[in-house]
Amino acid sequence: MATPAGMGAPAYGADPETARILLRIGAIGARLDPPFTFTSGWASPVYVDVRRLISYPAERRHVIAAAARALGCAPGRAPFDAVAGGETAGIPYAAWLAEACALPMLYVRKQAKGFGRNARIEGNLHEGERVLLVEDLATDGASKLSFANALREAGAIVDRAFVVFFYGIFPGALATLAEAGLNLTFLATWWDVLREAEAAQAFPAPMLAEVRAFLENPIAWSAAHGGRAAL
């Protein structure tokens, strides 16, 4: 995986078991008619439902332990002061990681609530705290920028985000995050899942060909299937 020029390397926690877990718990979906549509507007023949992991205690423990290792955090020794989950899918992972690292937890709303405190950040954030942003997954990373900016506007220092799964196929995704001062740590990408899916013969041959076509050129695939057509 390419390292964005001029920034720290993305920390690829490379945990092959995470890819196997996602396949085993049915988190990897493939469908052509109709294709999936992502939050960012891309059309895709695949969807990764990392949310399912919350229902599997042994598997989620494995993933959180791998995340804590990749991030270098343990009780009394962490390179950040608090852990913030992105609404909604990031919140349980942030809670478990905060617990594993014995750190305070926060969460970030997609939008200000519109009434009450009208805040995007929940929990007690102290000015100047180093906050790790946690989410379930990243495709092109746009949601990470929004969550990180909300934390920064509230006074946090945010220079690292963690996701269980990073697509690893959208050109420039890591570089764009790095240019915005955000380095991404992740445990598995689509290339890990594809390797495991091929070994387990998880997709019939025609679907595998379609999945490969998307992974190798997601923008062209999306444009040809009614989705977003440009970065």
Ligand X SMILES: O=P(O)(O)OC[C@H]1O[C@H](OP(=O)(O)OP(=O)(O)O)[C@H](O)[C@@H]1O
Binding-site residue ranges for orotate: 139
Count the neighbouring beta carbons within 10 Å of the beta carbon of residue 186: 28
- Using CB under 6 A as the binding rule, the residues of this chain from 179 to 198 that contact ligand ORO are none
Instruction: Tell me which of ligand X, ligand ORO, none is bound by residue 187, counting a contact when its beta carbon lies within the kind-specific cut-off of 5 to 8 angstroms.
Output: none
Give the separation between CA 133 and CA 49, rounded to whole angstroms.
19
Q: Select 45 or 78, whichever has its Cβ closest to ligand X.
A: 45
Q: Is 157 in contact with 131 (CB distance < 8 Å)?
A: yes
∠ Cα 103 106 108 (to 5°): 150
DSSP assignments along 188-209, one per residue: EEHHHHHHHHHHTT-S-HHHHH
Using N-to-C axis directions, what is the helix angle for 16-24 and 190-199, rounded to 10°? 60
Q: Is 126 in contact with 161 (CB distance < 8 Å)?
A: no
**Least distance to ligand ORO, CB of residue 124, Å:** 29
Strands (E), 109-181: 121-122, 130-138, 157-166
**Least distance to ligand X, CB of residue 171, Å:** 13
Give the separation between CA 157 and CA 127, rounded to whole angstroms.
8
Instruction: Tell me which of ligand X, ligand ORO, none is bound by residue 47, counting a contact when its beta carbon lies within the kind-specific cut-off of 5 to 8 angstroms.
Output: ligand ORO
Q: Select 13 or 85, whichever has its Cβ closest to ligand X.
A: 85
What mask, x for binding ligand ORO by CB under 6 A, covers residues 134 to 153? ---x-x--------------
Give the separation between CA 108 and CA 167, rounded to whole angstroms.
22
**Least distance to ligand X, CB of residue 166, Å:** 9
Binding residues for 5-phospho-alpha-D-ribose 1-diphosphate, as ranges, are 109-110, 113, 135-143
Stretch that binds ligand ORO, among 47-55, 75-83, 191-199, 205-213 (CB under 6 A): 47-55
Instruction: Tell me which of ligand ORO, ligand X, none is bound by residue 49, counting a contact when its beta carbon lies within the kind-specific cut-off of 5 to 8 angstroms.
Output: ligand ORO
Instruction: Tell me which of ligand ORO, ligand X, none is bound by residue 132, counting a contact when its beta carbon lies within the kind-specific cut-off of 5 to 8 angstroms.
Output: none
Between the alpha carbon of residue 202 and those of residues 193, 195, 217, the distances in Å are: 10, 10, 21
- Using CB under 6 A as the binding rule, the residues of this chain from 49 to 78 that contact ligand ORO are 49
Binding residues for ligand X (CB under 6 A): 39-40, 86-89, 135-144
Residues that bind ligand ORO (CB under 6 A): 38-40, 47-49, 137, 139
